[in-house]
Structure 1
Amino acid sequence: MKLRDFLIGVATGLATAVIIKEASAKVSPYAPAGQVLENIKKEFKKEAPIDGSWIYMKTEDFSNGIITTPVYRGGISRMHEGEMQTFEFAADARSGVVVELVEV
């Protein structure tokens, strides 16, 4: 095998990998669940330290009576003024905006 043939193969493989990565990013219209959770945690940390958090990585439909949108479900727990607070949330899977927040 000639070096030229080898380099052409490597270049073709890299180009294909880049194209596939770009195409797969366009196919999935949802924000990564981990990034959504990190953004929500960042907002909660402004008020008090967080003890725990979780997010369900698969989307589910959420309806407010008018519109149905895909959401990620998750939760946050923290100590605030000596008491444990636990919150559950639903965040829009496309934008990451919290559409429901309930203290349990």
Structure 2
Amino acid sequence: MNWKQSALLVSAGALLGFTLKTSLTKLPIRPEHALKLAKARFKELGSVSGSWIYMKPETLTLHGLNYTVYRGGITRTINDTNTQYEFFVDADTGSIISTKETQAII
């Protein structure tokens, strides 16, 4: 193999590696990871007694901006009373975009 072929192979390999890295870094976070991040944030405020996350990303429009998000819920026990919260986690960054307290349906 001469130096031209070697240079061509090295260039092709570098281009392939760069392309793969770029495409893999644009993948959204997994819903399980989004739930783990949300639970950790809620645990800073007190104990968490239950949680769930919807596995399919949704589109949320907030303040005129569109986000791809995972929707989930957390149950916390505060003074022997269960309090439920709904949250939205950005599927690209893992940041909690919105939370709200919800009422239990019994």
CA distance in 2, matches of 1:36, 1:80: 23
- Per-residue deviation, 1:28: 5.8
- Per-residue deviation, 1:97: 0.8
- Per-residue deviation, 1:65: 4.0
Q: Which TM-score applies when normalising by structure 1?
A: 0.71
Does 1:62 find its partner at 2:57? no
Q: Which moved more, 1:25-34 or 1:83-92?
A: 25-34
CA RMSD of aligned residues (A): 1.9
CA distance in 2, matches of 1:99, 1:30: 15
- Per-residue deviation, 1:75: 0.2
Distance 1:65 1:44, change over 3 A: closer
The DSSP-based 3-state class of the residue aligned with 2:92 is coil
Deviations 1:24-78 (A, max 9, x none): x718620111111111111111222111100011101000141111100000001
Q: Which residue of 1 aligns with 2:28?
A: 30
What aligned pairs does 1:1-104 form with structure 2 within 5 A after superposition? 26=24, 29-104=27-102
Segments of 5+ residues of structure 2 without an aligned counterpart are 1-16
The DSSP-based 3-state class of the residue aligned with 1:42 is helix
CA distance in 2, matches of 1:65, 1:80: 31
- Per-residue deviation, 1:90: 0.8
4+ long deviations beyond 6 Å:
none
